């Protein structure tokens, strides 16, 4: 794309009031973004944009400084890719309401290889339970070990766990924001965003610099999460979870929707149960996802990762046997072991360091 034309795509994106649909109509009517941006006032009135919007646009056109905005992008290490450019993500380009442009921050702006890899979205509730944490880590680890990029929304709960698990397993992950890339939300995830970039992943957004995370931005953000992915996995979700919107976007886009069944007594499993009723593919292990997506290399990669029980002490072996089929509180483990909780705590901590157990919080442990 011609750089002169591209700057007008960028300007329309910065201007508040003309979204994807209006921009597309303007571009088609005038022949290009540049001609639409520079159109005379009477021509703009001919297409019924509305008096207030035209006034705001004319004022914006006088005040917007292309050079200053580009300087801010460059200083922050952010690049912009327009829909008509060759390096725009191929899967995202396929959806009917693809963003006219996306802002990207990644370690190597000249290397967009992350888009050439197959991606799967892992999303869910912000108020994750110990069960939700466990299954999110298990599924994400399996997907990463099969060479897949993990896409999520950098939100609290399941999204955070999915990104962190991908990083911890030396995988790539993409965080999609509902705000400008200079306005990381939630703010405590700024460090996580930096880790995503440092490890070869990317954070992206369709929103301009300075755009805060408004409630209406999240449903639009969710269509990008699913648009970048072959399928969406919902690991744990309440009935009103925003992750169900992502699943709905995926279905509308012709992408696979996967859901993990949870305890029927938990309100945070109501959303995934509803998805399963509507035809989402049930997931009892990562292989269910890989089989559906025709990715068959997980079992081969896992062969060298099994825990060698011969290297465990008798106490560690017994703990593994106790936790083989369920998670359990330390007090219950101690009861079954005939051990004191204080002494058992040090053993469990050592097993966690070895990568044998996972601490699900509040004294609950499971086999990793």
Phi, psi of 12 (to 5 degrees): -65, -35
> pLDDT tens digits for 74-95?
999 999 999 999 889 999 999 9
| pLDDT above 90 (res 255) | yes
Rounded Cα gap, residues 326 and 278, in angstroms:
28
Residue 286, classed as helix, strand or coil, is helix
In this predicted model, what pLDDT tens digit does every residue of 106-115 receive, in sequence order? 987 655 566 6
Is residue 259 helix, strand or coil? strand
The model's pTM is 0.82
| Distance set, CA 86 to CA 1, 81, 83 (Å) | 9, 9, 8
**Could you tell me the maximum CA-CA distance found in the chain, to the nearest angstrom?**
86
Of 286, 83, 277, give the one whose Cα is nearest residue 171: 286
Per-residue model confidence (pLDDT) at position 310: 67
Tell the burial category of 48 from Cβ atoms under 10 Å away from its Cβ (0-12, 13-18, 19+).
Answer: exposed
Instruction: List C-alpha distances in Å: 67 to 36, 101, 205.
Output: 20, 18, 21
Q: What is the pLDDT of residue 110?
A: 59
């Amino acid at each position: 794309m011609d750089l002169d034309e591209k700057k007008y795509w960028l300007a329309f994106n910065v201007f508040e009031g003309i979204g994807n649909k209006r921009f597309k109509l303007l571009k088609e009517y005038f022949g290009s973004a540049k001609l639409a941006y520079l159109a005379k006032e009477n021509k703009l009135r001919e297409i019924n944009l509305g008096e207030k919007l035209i006034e705001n646009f004319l004022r914006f056109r006088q005040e917007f400084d292309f050079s200053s905005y580009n300087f801010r992008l460059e200083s922050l290490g952010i690049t912009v890719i327009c829909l008509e450019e060759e390096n725009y993500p191929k899967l995202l380009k396929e959806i009917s309401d693809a963003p006219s442009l996306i802002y990207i921050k990644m370690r190597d702006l000249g290397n967009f290889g992350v888009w050439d890899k197959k991606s799967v979205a892992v999303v869910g509730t912000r108020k994750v339970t110990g069960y939700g944490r466990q299954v999110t880590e298990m599924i994400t680890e399996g997907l990463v070990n099969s060479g897949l990029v993990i896409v999520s929304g950098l939100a609290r709960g399941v999204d955070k766990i999915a990104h962190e698990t991908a990083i911890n397993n030396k995988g790539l992950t993409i965080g999609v924001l509902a705000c400008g890339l200079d306005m990381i939300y939630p703010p405590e995830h700024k460090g996580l965003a930096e880790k995503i970039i440092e490890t070869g992943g990317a954070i992206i957004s369709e929103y301009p610099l300075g755009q805060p995370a408004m409630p209406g931005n999240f449903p639009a953000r969710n269509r990008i999460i699913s648009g970048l992915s072959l399928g969406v996995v919902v690991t744990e979700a309440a009935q009103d979870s925003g992750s169900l919107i992502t699943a709905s976007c995926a279905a509308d886009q012709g992408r696979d929707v996967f859901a993990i069944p949870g305890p029927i007594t938990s309100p945070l499993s109501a959303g995934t149960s509803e998805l399963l009723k509507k035809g989402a593919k049930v997931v009892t292990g990562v292989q269910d996802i890989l089989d559906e997506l025709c990715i068959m290399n997980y079992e081969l990669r896992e062969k060298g990762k099994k825990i060698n029980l011969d290297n465990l002490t008798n106490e560690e072996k017994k703990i593994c046997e106790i936790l083989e089929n369920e998670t359990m509180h330390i007090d219950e483990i101690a009861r079954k072991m005939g051990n004191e909780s204080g002494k058992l705590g040090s053993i469990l901590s050592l097993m966690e360091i070895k990568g044998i157990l996972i601490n699900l919080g509040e004294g609950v442990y499971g086999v990793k």
